[in-house]
Amino acid sequence: MEWMGWFCFIIMLCYSSYPGKVKKLESKVRKLERSEGGETLVSKLIMELIGKNCKIKSEEDFMFSGNAEVECSIIDADDEWIKLSYSDKKGVVRTKIVRIDAIKNVEMISE
């Protein structure tokens, strides 16, 4: 019966790195899709928003000082990343670089 415990332990060790491998494969697939033109439409739309004020909602709540949504100005963008500037609660202007994959929603603010 002791050998069964060791067998289960060895199997657990083999599959403990499985989620990390899956994430690496997912990122490789995303890069391949981008290189073939699969996700360039989103980056082209964001490129058109450079220099404009927008409300960006992210997937992670902690991304913008505890808020999931922030009013910001888009400074620069490429296929994977977006550089934006926003004011935090204290009025300090911050610049942040965010992955386009982490953005859930973009709303343009009319001036």
Is pTM beyond 0.75 here?
A: no
Q: Tens digits of per-residue pLDDT, 29-84? A: 877 876 776 555 666 788 888 888 988 888 765 566 666 788 889 999 887 788 98
Do residues 86 and 106 touch, judged by C-beta distance below 8 A? no
Q: How far is CA 107 from CA 5, 45, 55, 102, 103, in A?
A: 55, 12, 5, 15, 11
Phi and psi at residue 60, to the nearest 5°: -95, 130
Torsion of CA 30, 37, 59, 84, to 10 degrees: 120
